[in-house]
Amino acid sequence: MAEPIISSSIFSIFIMLLHLILSRSELHINDQLKVTTPPLPILPLPSYSQLKWQQREIIMFHHFGVNTFNDSEWGTGRESPHIFNPTRLDTNQWADAAAHAGVSLVILTAKHHDGFCLWPSRYTDHSVIGSPWKHGRGDVVREFVDAFKARNIDSGLYLSPWDRHDPRYGHANKYNEYYLAQLQELLMRYGSVKEIWFDGAKGPNTPNMTYYFKDWFSMVKELQSTINIFSDAGPDVRWVGDEKGFAGSTCWSTINRTSLSIGNASIVDYINKGDPKGTDWLPAECDVSIRTGWFWHKSQSPKKLSELLEIYYKSVGRNCVLLLNVPPNSTGLIPESDVRRLKQFRQAIDTIFSSNLALKCSAHASSQRGVGSSDYKPENVLDDDHLWTYWTPSEKEIRGGDWIEFRALTGKIKFNVVRIQEAIGLGQRIKKHEIYVDGEMVAKGTTVGYKKLHRLEKGIVEALSVRIKIVEAKGVPLISSFGLHFDPFWNPKEEVDT
Protein backbone atom coordinates (compact mmCIF):
# COMPACT_ATOMS: atom_id res chain seq x y z
CA MET A 1 0.00 0.00 0.00
CA ALA A 2 2.99 2.38 0.46
CA GLU A 3 3.84 2.32 -3.25
CA PRO A 4 1.18 4.77 -4.59
CA ILE A 5 2.24 7.37 -1.95
CA ILE A 6 5.85 7.22 -3.19
CA SER A 7 4.83 7.46 -6.81
CA SER A 8 2.44 10.35 -6.14
CA SER A 9 5.19 12.33 -4.37
CA ILE A 10 7.61 11.55 -7.25
CA PHE A 11 4.87 12.71 -9.60
CA SER A 12 4.40 16.00 -7.73
CA ILE A 13 8.19 16.61 -7.69
CA PHE A 14 8.19 15.99 -11.43
CA ILE A 15 5.34 18.46 -11.90
CA MET A 16 7.15 21.07 -9.79
CA LEU A 17 10.32 20.64 -11.82
CA LEU A 18 8.40 20.89 -15.05
CA HIS A 19 6.73 24.05 -13.81
CA LEU A 20 10.10 25.54 -12.87
CA ILE A 21 11.62 24.70 -16.27
CA LEU A 22 8.61 26.11 -18.11
CA SER A 23 8.54 29.32 -16.07
CA ARG A 24 12.29 29.80 -16.60
CA SER A 25 11.98 29.36 -20.33
CA GLU A 26 9.04 31.75 -20.31
CA LEU A 27 11.21 34.26 -18.50
CA HIS A 28 13.87 33.71 -21.12
CA ILE A 29 11.44 34.25 -23.97
CA ASN A 30 10.15 37.42 -22.33
CA ASP A 31 13.69 38.64 -21.92
CA GLN A 32 14.30 38.17 -25.59
CA LEU A 33 11.11 39.99 -26.44
CA LYS A 34 12.53 43.06 -24.72
CA VAL A 35 15.30 43.17 -27.32
CA THR A 36 14.27 45.18 -30.35
CA THR A 37 14.92 43.46 -33.67
CA PRO A 38 17.00 45.20 -36.35
CA PRO A 39 15.01 47.02 -39.04
CA LEU A 40 14.23 45.17 -42.26
CA PRO A 41 16.88 45.45 -44.98
CA ILE A 42 16.27 47.58 -48.05
CA LEU A 43 17.17 45.54 -51.12
CA PRO A 44 19.44 45.04 -52.99
CA LEU A 45 22.13 43.97 -50.52
CA PRO A 46 25.86 43.33 -51.08
CA SER A 47 27.14 39.77 -51.27
CA TYR A 48 29.67 38.52 -48.73
CA SER A 49 32.53 39.01 -51.23
CA GLN A 50 31.35 42.49 -52.20
CA LEU A 51 31.32 43.54 -48.53
CA LYS A 52 34.88 42.22 -48.08
CA TRP A 53 35.97 44.09 -51.23
CA GLN A 54 34.40 47.35 -50.03
CA GLN A 55 36.27 47.20 -46.73
CA ARG A 56 39.62 47.00 -48.56
CA GLU A 57 39.24 50.71 -49.52
CA ILE A 58 42.51 50.90 -51.49
CA ILE A 59 43.78 48.13 -53.78
CA MET A 60 46.63 48.16 -56.30
CA PHE A 61 47.20 47.41 -59.97
CA HIS A 62 50.44 46.43 -61.74
CA HIS A 63 50.57 47.00 -65.50
CA PHE A 64 53.57 45.02 -66.75
CA GLY A 65 54.36 43.37 -70.07
CA VAL A 66 55.97 44.05 -73.45
CA ASN A 67 54.80 47.69 -73.32
CA THR A 68 57.13 48.21 -70.34
CA PHE A 69 60.08 47.64 -72.69
CA ASN A 70 58.66 49.60 -75.61
CA ASP A 71 57.66 52.94 -74.13
CA SER A 72 54.14 52.05 -75.19
CA GLU A 73 50.61 51.95 -73.73
CA TRP A 74 48.80 49.79 -76.26
CA GLY A 75 51.05 47.22 -77.89
CA THR A 76 50.32 46.26 -81.48
CA GLY A 77 50.49 42.51 -80.88
CA ARG A 78 53.47 42.30 -83.19
CA GLU A 79 56.09 42.72 -80.44
CA SER A 80 58.69 40.01 -80.23
CA PRO A 81 58.70 38.14 -76.87
CA HIS A 82 62.47 38.77 -77.00
CA ILE A 83 62.00 42.31 -75.76
CA PHE A 84 60.63 41.04 -72.45
CA ASN A 85 63.72 40.83 -70.23
CA PRO A 86 63.29 42.22 -66.69
CA THR A 87 66.77 41.29 -65.51
CA ARG A 88 66.20 42.18 -61.84
CA LEU A 89 62.53 41.22 -61.55
CA ASP A 90 61.68 40.89 -57.87
CA THR A 91 58.03 40.42 -56.95
CA ASN A 92 59.03 40.52 -53.26
CA GLN A 93 59.97 44.14 -53.81
CA TRP A 94 56.53 44.73 -55.42
CA ALA A 95 54.83 43.09 -52.45
CA ASP A 96 56.86 45.20 -50.01
CA ALA A 97 55.73 48.33 -51.86
CA ALA A 98 52.11 47.15 -51.59
CA ALA A 99 52.58 46.44 -47.89
CA HIS A 100 53.97 49.97 -47.39
CA ALA A 101 50.87 51.28 -49.13
CA GLY A 102 48.73 49.21 -46.74
CA VAL A 103 46.74 47.47 -49.48
CA SER A 104 45.25 44.00 -49.14
CA LEU A 105 44.69 43.12 -52.81
CA VAL A 106 46.86 43.62 -55.91
CA ILE A 107 45.84 42.93 -59.52
CA LEU A 108 48.38 42.00 -62.23
CA THR A 109 47.92 42.31 -65.99
CA ALA A 110 48.48 38.63 -66.87
CA LYS A 111 47.72 39.58 -70.50
CA HIS A 112 47.19 43.10 -71.88
CA HIS A 113 45.74 44.06 -75.29
CA ASP A 114 49.02 43.04 -77.05
CA GLY A 115 48.29 39.40 -76.21
CA PHE A 116 51.66 38.71 -74.52
CA CYS A 117 51.16 36.35 -71.56
CA LEU A 118 53.11 36.74 -68.33
CA TRP A 119 52.60 33.06 -67.55
CA PRO A 120 53.58 30.01 -69.66
CA SER A 121 50.17 29.37 -71.21
CA ARG A 122 49.80 26.02 -72.98
CA TYR A 123 47.66 27.64 -75.66
CA THR A 124 50.09 30.15 -77.18
CA ASP A 125 53.80 30.71 -77.55
CA HIS A 126 53.35 34.48 -77.32
CA SER A 127 54.42 34.51 -73.69
CA VAL A 128 57.31 34.42 -71.24
CA ILE A 129 58.23 31.07 -72.85
CA GLY A 130 59.57 32.93 -75.88
CA SER A 131 61.48 35.52 -73.85
CA PRO A 132 65.10 35.57 -72.67
CA TRP A 133 63.92 36.12 -69.08
CA LYS A 134 64.95 33.03 -67.09
CA HIS A 135 65.69 31.38 -70.47
CA GLY A 136 61.97 31.09 -71.16
CA ARG A 137 61.34 29.07 -68.02
CA GLY A 138 59.98 31.90 -65.85
CA ASP A 139 56.41 32.57 -64.73
CA VAL A 140 55.63 36.12 -63.57
CA VAL A 141 52.12 35.20 -62.40
CA ARG A 142 53.53 32.45 -60.16
CA GLU A 143 56.19 34.73 -58.67
CA PHE A 144 53.58 37.46 -58.19
CA VAL A 145 51.01 35.32 -56.33
CA ASP A 146 53.67 33.62 -54.17
CA ALA A 147 55.35 36.85 -53.06
CA PHE A 148 52.05 38.52 -52.20
CA LYS A 149 50.66 35.47 -50.44
CA ALA A 150 53.77 35.41 -48.22
CA ARG A 151 52.81 38.92 -47.07
CA ASN A 152 49.14 38.08 -46.63
CA ILE A 153 48.13 40.20 -49.62
CA ASP A 154 45.46 38.79 -51.94
CA SER A 155 45.93 38.49 -55.70
CA GLY A 156 43.76 39.53 -58.59
CA LEU A 157 44.28 39.08 -62.35
CA TYR A 158 43.56 41.08 -65.49
CA LEU A 159 43.09 39.11 -68.70
CA SER A 160 42.42 41.45 -71.61
CA PRO A 161 39.50 40.36 -73.80
CA TRP A 162 40.84 42.47 -76.67
CA ASP A 163 43.84 40.55 -78.05
CA ARG A 164 45.81 42.16 -80.89
CA HIS A 165 48.13 39.18 -81.34
CA ASP A 166 46.15 35.99 -81.43
CA PRO A 167 44.85 35.02 -84.89
CA ARG A 168 41.76 33.46 -83.29
CA TYR A 169 40.56 36.98 -82.34
CA GLY A 170 37.56 37.81 -84.53
CA HIS A 171 36.46 34.16 -84.79
CA ALA A 172 33.88 33.92 -82.07
CA ASN A 173 33.94 30.23 -81.17
CA LYS A 174 37.67 29.79 -81.53
CA TYR A 175 38.64 32.92 -79.61
CA ASN A 176 36.12 32.32 -76.82
CA GLU A 177 37.49 28.79 -76.44
CA TYR A 178 40.99 30.22 -76.25
CA TYR A 179 39.96 32.87 -73.73
CA LEU A 180 38.12 30.33 -71.57
CA ALA A 181 41.10 27.96 -71.70
CA GLN A 182 43.34 30.75 -70.43
CA LEU A 183 40.84 31.66 -67.71
CA GLN A 184 40.94 28.05 -66.55
CA GLU A 185 44.74 28.09 -66.45
CA LEU A 186 44.82 31.27 -64.41
CA LEU A 187 42.03 30.34 -62.02
CA MET A 188 43.10 26.74 -61.46
CA ARG A 189 46.89 26.99 -61.22
CA TYR A 190 47.55 29.87 -58.87
CA GLY A 191 45.38 29.35 -55.79
CA SER A 192 42.82 31.85 -54.57
CA VAL A 193 42.17 34.84 -56.85
CA LYS A 194 40.01 37.57 -55.31
CA GLU A 195 39.28 39.78 -58.33
CA ILE A 196 39.27 39.29 -62.08
CA TRP A 197 39.31 42.27 -64.41
CA PHE A 198 37.44 42.16 -67.72
CA ASP A 199 38.47 45.34 -69.50
CA GLY A 200 35.93 46.67 -71.99
CA ALA A 201 38.58 48.62 -73.98
CA LYS A 202 38.95 47.93 -77.68
CA GLY A 203 40.61 50.15 -80.27
CA PRO A 204 39.06 51.38 -83.53
CA ASN A 205 39.20 49.21 -86.69
CA THR A 206 39.33 45.93 -84.80
CA PRO A 207 37.72 42.74 -86.03
CA ASN A 208 34.11 42.18 -84.94
CA MET A 209 34.14 39.97 -81.94
CA THR A 210 31.38 38.63 -79.71
CA TYR A 211 32.60 37.81 -76.24
CA TYR A 212 30.72 34.98 -74.51
CA PHE A 213 30.50 36.85 -71.22
CA LYS A 214 27.92 34.50 -69.73
CA ASP A 215 30.24 31.54 -70.26
CA TRP A 216 33.19 33.46 -68.85
CA PHE A 217 31.35 34.61 -65.73
CA SER A 218 29.95 31.13 -65.04
CA MET A 219 33.39 29.57 -65.43
CA VAL A 220 34.97 32.16 -63.12
CA LYS A 221 32.40 31.58 -60.36
CA GLU A 222 32.70 27.83 -60.76
CA LEU A 223 36.46 27.96 -60.24
CA GLN A 224 36.69 30.67 -57.56
CA SER A 225 33.78 31.01 -55.17
CA THR A 226 34.91 34.18 -53.34
CA ILE A 227 36.11 36.13 -56.39
CA ASN A 228 34.64 39.47 -57.52
CA ILE A 229 34.20 39.96 -61.26
CA PHE A 230 34.97 43.49 -62.46
CA SER A 231 33.79 44.95 -65.76
CA ASP A 232 32.01 48.08 -66.98
CA ALA A 233 28.84 46.24 -66.03
CA GLY A 234 29.89 43.94 -63.16
CA PRO A 235 28.44 41.45 -62.18
CA ASP A 236 30.19 42.13 -58.83
CA VAL A 237 32.12 45.39 -59.24
CA ARG A 238 31.48 48.08 -61.84
CA TRP A 239 33.82 50.54 -63.53
CA VAL A 240 33.41 54.11 -62.25
CA GLY A 241 33.33 55.47 -65.79
CA ASP A 242 36.60 57.45 -65.87
CA GLU A 243 40.31 56.80 -65.42
CA LYS A 244 40.91 59.76 -63.11
CA GLY A 245 39.91 57.84 -60.00
CA PHE A 246 36.93 60.13 -59.39
CA ALA A 247 33.45 58.88 -58.51
CA GLY A 248 30.42 61.13 -58.84
CA SER A 249 29.74 63.23 -55.72
CA THR A 250 26.49 61.25 -55.73
CA CYS A 251 27.45 57.60 -55.89
CA TRP A 252 25.04 54.73 -55.35
CA SER A 253 26.25 51.16 -55.05
CA THR A 254 22.95 50.23 -56.62
CA ILE A 255 22.25 50.25 -60.35
CA ASN A 256 20.18 48.46 -62.98
CA ARG A 257 22.40 45.89 -64.66
CA THR A 258 19.95 45.51 -67.49
CA SER A 259 20.82 49.09 -68.57
CA LEU A 260 24.53 48.26 -68.77
CA SER A 261 26.76 46.62 -71.33
CA ILE A 262 30.51 46.16 -71.55
CA GLY A 263 32.50 48.56 -73.75
CA ASN A 264 29.58 50.97 -74.21
CA ALA A 265 30.73 54.59 -73.91
CA SER A 266 27.19 55.94 -73.47
CA ILE A 267 26.85 54.51 -69.96
CA VAL A 268 29.81 56.31 -68.35
CA ASP A 269 27.68 58.95 -66.67
CA TYR A 270 25.22 56.38 -65.33
CA ILE A 271 27.96 54.14 -63.89
CA ASN A 272 29.75 57.15 -62.37
CA LYS A 273 26.73 57.93 -60.18
CA GLY A 274 24.78 54.69 -59.85
CA ASP A 275 21.03 54.64 -59.45
CA PRO A 276 18.93 55.01 -56.28
CA LYS A 277 16.25 52.88 -57.95
CA GLY A 278 18.76 50.22 -59.05
CA THR A 279 17.77 46.64 -58.38
CA ASP A 280 21.36 45.31 -58.39
CA TRP A 281 24.12 45.85 -55.83
CA LEU A 282 27.07 46.75 -58.04
CA PRO A 283 29.53 49.13 -56.34
CA ALA A 284 32.08 51.17 -58.30
CA GLU A 285 35.86 50.78 -58.45
CA CYS A 286 37.94 53.88 -59.28
CA ASP A 287 41.00 52.97 -61.38
CA VAL A 288 43.77 55.50 -61.85
CA SER A 289 47.53 55.34 -62.32
CA ILE A 290 50.10 56.82 -59.96
CA ARG A 291 51.79 58.09 -63.17
CA THR A 292 50.30 59.45 -66.39
CA GLY A 293 50.44 56.10 -68.17
CA TRP A 294 49.35 52.65 -67.06
CA PHE A 295 52.70 51.17 -68.09
CA TRP A 296 56.12 52.42 -66.95
CA HIS A 297 57.79 55.10 -69.07
CA LYS A 298 61.18 56.51 -68.26
CA SER A 299 59.96 60.05 -68.88
CA GLN A 300 57.10 59.92 -66.34
CA SER A 301 57.08 60.39 -62.58
CA PRO A 302 54.57 59.71 -59.82
CA LYS A 303 51.74 62.10 -58.95
CA LYS A 304 52.16 64.52 -56.04
CA LEU A 305 50.89 63.54 -52.60
CA SER A 306 48.20 66.23 -52.79
CA GLU A 307 46.93 64.71 -56.06
CA LEU A 308 46.77 61.24 -54.52
CA LEU A 309 44.87 62.59 -51.54
CA GLU A 310 42.45 64.38 -53.87
CA ILE A 311 41.86 61.02 -55.57
CA TYR A 312 41.39 59.31 -52.21
CA TYR A 313 38.71 61.78 -51.12
CA LYS A 314 36.90 61.44 -54.47
CA SER A 315 36.99 57.64 -54.53
CA VAL A 316 37.11 56.08 -51.06
CA GLY A 317 35.42 59.23 -49.73
CA ARG A 318 32.61 58.77 -52.24
CA ASN A 319 31.63 55.21 -51.41
CA CYS A 320 34.08 53.47 -53.78
CA VAL A 321 37.24 51.38 -53.74
CA LEU A 322 40.38 53.03 -55.16
CA LEU A 323 42.40 50.86 -57.56
CA LEU A 324 45.79 52.57 -57.78
CA ASN A 325 48.10 51.43 -60.58
CA VAL A 326 51.83 51.32 -59.82
CA PRO A 327 53.80 50.05 -62.83
CA PRO A 328 57.04 48.05 -62.43
CA ASN A 329 59.89 49.34 -64.63
CA SER A 330 61.89 47.51 -67.29
CA THR A 331 64.33 46.06 -64.77
CA GLY A 332 61.32 44.44 -63.07
CA LEU A 333 61.17 46.68 -59.99
CA ILE A 334 58.80 49.34 -58.68
CA PRO A 335 60.78 52.60 -59.01
CA GLU A 336 62.06 54.00 -55.71
CA SER A 337 60.25 57.32 -56.37
CA ASP A 338 56.93 55.48 -56.52
CA VAL A 339 57.69 53.41 -53.41
CA ARG A 340 58.47 56.64 -51.54
CA ARG A 341 55.22 58.20 -52.71
CA LEU A 342 53.21 55.13 -51.66
CA LYS A 343 54.74 55.30 -48.17
CA GLN A 344 53.91 59.02 -47.94
CA PHE A 345 50.38 58.36 -49.12
CA ARG A 346 49.78 55.67 -46.50
CA GLN A 347 51.38 57.77 -43.75
CA ALA A 348 49.20 60.73 -44.71
CA ILE A 349 46.00 58.64 -44.59
CA ASP A 350 47.02 57.20 -41.23
CA THR A 351 47.88 60.65 -39.89
CA ILE A 352 44.47 62.00 -40.91
CA PHE A 353 42.29 59.10 -39.87
CA SER A 354 44.02 57.30 -37.01
CA SER A 355 42.67 59.79 -34.52
CA ASN A 356 38.95 60.46 -34.30
CA LEU A 357 38.16 63.70 -32.49
CA ALA A 358 34.51 62.68 -32.18
CA LEU A 359 35.69 60.35 -29.40
CA LYS A 360 36.05 63.51 -27.28
CA CYS A 361 32.30 64.07 -27.62
CA SER A 362 29.08 62.69 -26.22
CA ALA A 363 26.58 61.38 -28.80
CA HIS A 364 22.92 62.42 -28.91
CA ALA A 365 20.13 61.80 -31.43
CA SER A 366 16.65 62.94 -32.44
CA SER A 367 15.34 59.51 -31.43
CA GLN A 368 16.50 55.94 -31.10
CA ARG A 369 15.03 52.64 -32.15
CA GLY A 370 14.14 50.42 -29.18
CA VAL A 371 14.38 53.01 -26.42
CA GLY A 372 16.41 51.65 -23.53
CA SER A 373 18.08 49.07 -25.75
CA SER A 374 21.79 49.58 -26.32
CA ASP A 375 21.60 48.01 -29.79
CA TYR A 376 20.78 51.19 -31.71
CA LYS A 377 22.13 53.92 -29.43
CA PRO A 378 23.97 56.94 -30.91
CA GLU A 379 27.26 55.93 -29.20
CA ASN A 380 27.45 52.89 -31.55
CA VAL A 381 28.80 55.14 -34.31
CA LEU A 382 31.95 55.70 -32.25
CA ASP A 383 32.97 52.05 -31.88
CA ASP A 384 35.34 50.13 -34.15
CA ASP A 385 32.66 48.17 -35.99
CA HIS A 386 31.90 50.06 -39.22
CA LEU A 387 29.24 47.69 -40.48
CA TRP A 388 27.07 45.90 -37.98
CA THR A 389 26.70 48.26 -35.01
CA TYR A 390 24.85 51.46 -35.78
CA TRP A 391 22.59 54.22 -34.60
CA THR A 392 19.12 54.28 -36.07
CA PRO A 393 16.14 56.48 -35.13
CA SER A 394 12.74 55.12 -34.25
CA GLU A 395 10.48 54.19 -37.16
CA LYS A 396 7.82 56.77 -37.99
CA GLU A 397 5.26 57.25 -40.69
CA ILE A 398 6.83 60.30 -42.32
CA ARG A 399 10.61 60.38 -42.38
CA GLY A 400 12.89 63.39 -42.51
CA GLY A 401 14.79 65.51 -40.05
CA ASP A 402 16.44 62.67 -38.14
CA TRP A 403 19.71 63.81 -36.66
CA ILE A 404 22.69 62.67 -34.62
CA GLU A 405 24.80 65.19 -32.74
CA PHE A 406 28.18 65.19 -31.06
CA ARG A 407 28.87 67.54 -28.17
CA ALA A 408 32.42 68.26 -27.06
CA LEU A 409 33.11 67.09 -23.53
CA THR A 410 36.26 69.06 -22.80
CA GLY A 411 36.37 72.29 -24.80
CA LYS A 412 36.25 73.00 -28.54
CA ILE A 413 37.42 70.45 -31.08
CA LYS A 414 39.41 71.41 -34.17
CA PHE A 415 38.84 69.54 -37.45
CA ASN A 416 38.44 69.95 -41.20
CA VAL A 417 37.16 66.51 -42.29
CA VAL A 418 33.86 64.84 -41.44
CA ARG A 419 33.45 61.09 -42.01
CA ILE A 420 30.03 59.40 -42.19
CA GLN A 421 29.43 55.69 -42.82
CA GLU A 422 26.20 53.79 -43.39
CA ALA A 423 25.50 50.23 -42.25
CA ILE A 424 25.39 49.05 -45.87
CA GLY A 425 24.88 45.42 -44.83
CA LEU A 426 21.19 46.42 -44.60
CA GLY A 427 21.20 48.41 -47.85
CA GLN A 428 22.31 51.89 -48.95
CA ARG A 429 19.68 54.42 -47.88
CA ILE A 430 20.72 58.06 -47.42
CA LYS A 431 19.80 60.39 -50.32
CA LYS A 432 20.54 63.78 -48.80
CA HIS A 433 22.31 64.97 -45.67
CA GLU A 434 23.59 68.18 -44.09
CA ILE A 435 26.32 68.96 -41.57
CA TYR A 436 25.93 71.69 -38.95
CA VAL A 437 28.69 73.05 -36.75
CA ASP A 438 27.42 74.95 -33.69
CA GLY A 439 24.14 75.44 -35.55
CA GLU A 440 25.65 76.67 -38.83
CA MET A 441 25.48 74.52 -41.96
CA VAL A 442 29.04 73.87 -43.19
CA ALA A 443 28.50 71.10 -45.75
CA LYS A 444 25.79 69.16 -47.48
CA GLY A 445 25.77 66.11 -49.65
CA THR A 446 23.69 63.41 -51.23
CA THR A 447 24.70 59.73 -50.90
CA VAL A 448 26.78 58.36 -48.03
CA GLY A 449 27.12 54.60 -48.55
CA TYR A 450 30.04 52.72 -47.01
CA LYS A 451 32.04 55.91 -46.52
CA LYS A 452 31.49 59.59 -47.19
CA LEU A 453 34.29 62.06 -46.52
CA HIS A 454 33.64 65.81 -46.44
CA ARG A 455 36.63 68.11 -46.51
CA LEU A 456 35.18 71.35 -45.21
CA GLU A 457 35.37 74.18 -47.73
CA LYS A 458 35.59 76.56 -44.81
CA GLY A 459 38.87 74.90 -43.82
CA ILE A 460 39.59 74.22 -40.17
CA VAL A 461 36.69 74.76 -37.76
CA GLU A 462 36.67 74.83 -33.97
CA ALA A 463 33.38 73.75 -32.50
CA LEU A 464 31.43 72.58 -29.51
CA SER A 465 28.81 70.62 -31.46
CA VAL A 466 28.48 68.87 -34.81
CA ARG A 467 25.14 67.65 -36.10
CA ILE A 468 24.41 65.38 -39.06
CA LYS A 469 20.89 65.85 -40.37
CA ILE A 470 19.47 63.12 -42.59
CA VAL A 471 17.29 65.14 -44.95
CA GLU A 472 16.10 62.30 -47.16
CA ALA A 473 16.58 58.54 -47.12
CA LYS A 474 15.10 55.46 -48.75
CA GLY A 475 13.90 54.29 -45.33
CA VAL A 476 15.03 54.56 -41.76
CA PRO A 477 18.73 55.63 -41.90
CA LEU A 478 21.44 53.53 -40.25
CA ILE A 479 24.73 55.25 -39.36
CA SER A 480 27.48 52.80 -38.52
CA SER A 481 30.41 55.13 -37.97
CA PHE A 482 31.19 58.80 -37.58
CA GLY A 483 34.47 60.67 -37.42
CA LEU A 484 35.85 64.18 -37.06
CA HIS A 485 39.40 64.37 -38.37
CA PHE A 486 42.17 66.83 -38.90
CA ASP A 487 43.88 66.80 -42.31
CA PRO A 488 47.11 68.83 -42.12
CA PHE A 489 47.81 68.30 -45.84
CA TRP A 490 44.79 70.08 -47.18
CA ASN A 491 44.47 73.71 -48.08
CA PRO A 492 40.95 74.58 -49.30
CA LYS A 493 42.32 77.66 -51.09
CA GLU A 494 44.20 75.35 -53.48
CA GLU A 495 41.34 72.96 -54.24
CA VAL A 496 37.58 73.06 -54.00
CA ASP A 497 35.86 69.73 -53.53
CA THR A 498 33.37 69.31 -56.39
Least Å distance between CB 198 and ligand FUL?
Answer: 10
Burial annotation 292-320 (CB, 10 A radius, 16+ → b, else e): ebbbbbeebebbeeeebbbbbbbbbbbbb
Least Å distance between CB 155 and ligand FUL?
Answer: 17
Kindly state whether residue 163 participates in binding ligand FUL, applying the rule CB under 6 A: no
Least Å distance between CB 126 and ligand FUL?
Answer: 18
Kindly state whether residue 199 participates in binding ligand FUL, applying the rule CB under 6 A: yes
CA pair distance 276, 265, nearest whole angstrom: 21
Least Å distance between CB 213 and ligand FUL?
Answer: 16
Least Å distance between CB 294 and ligand FUL?
Answer: 4
In the stretch 20-49, what mask flags binding to ligand FUL with x, by CB under 6 A? Answer: ------------------------------
6 CB-near residues (< 8 Å, 6+ apart)? none
CA pair distance 323, 319, nearest whole angstrom: 13
Give the sign of the dihedral formed by CA 336, CA 340, CA 341, CA 343.
Answer: positive
- H or E stretch including 468? strand 465-473
Kindly state whether residue 195 participates in binding ligand FUL, applying the rule CB under 6 A: no
In the stretch 293-332, what mask flags binding to ligand FUL with x, by CB under 6 A? Answer: -x--------------------------------------
Least Å distance between CB 96 and ligand FUL?
Answer: 23
Q: How many residues touch ligand FUL (CB under 6 A)?
A: 5
Task: Report whether 454 contacts 487 (CB < 8 A).
Answer: no
Is 91 in a helix, a strand, or coil?
helix
CA pair distance 337, 414, nearest whole angstrom: 34
Least Å distance between CB 200 and ligand FUL?
Answer: 7
CA pair distance 204, 15, nearest whole angstrom: 86
Kindly state whether residue 201 participates in binding ligand FUL, applying the rule CB under 6 A: yes
Give the sign of the dihedral formed by CA 242, CA 480, CA 355, CA 151.
Answer: negative
Return the closest-CA partner of residue 329 out of 42, 55, 85, 56: 85
**Closest CB to ligand FUL among residues 295, 406:** 295
In the stretch 66-105, what mask flags binding to ligand FUL with x, by CB under 6 A? Answer: -------x--------------------------------
Kindly state whether residue 287 participates in binding ligand FUL, applying the rule CB under 6 A: yes
Q: Which residues contribute to the site for ligand FUL (CB under 6 A)? A: 73, 199, 201, 287, 294
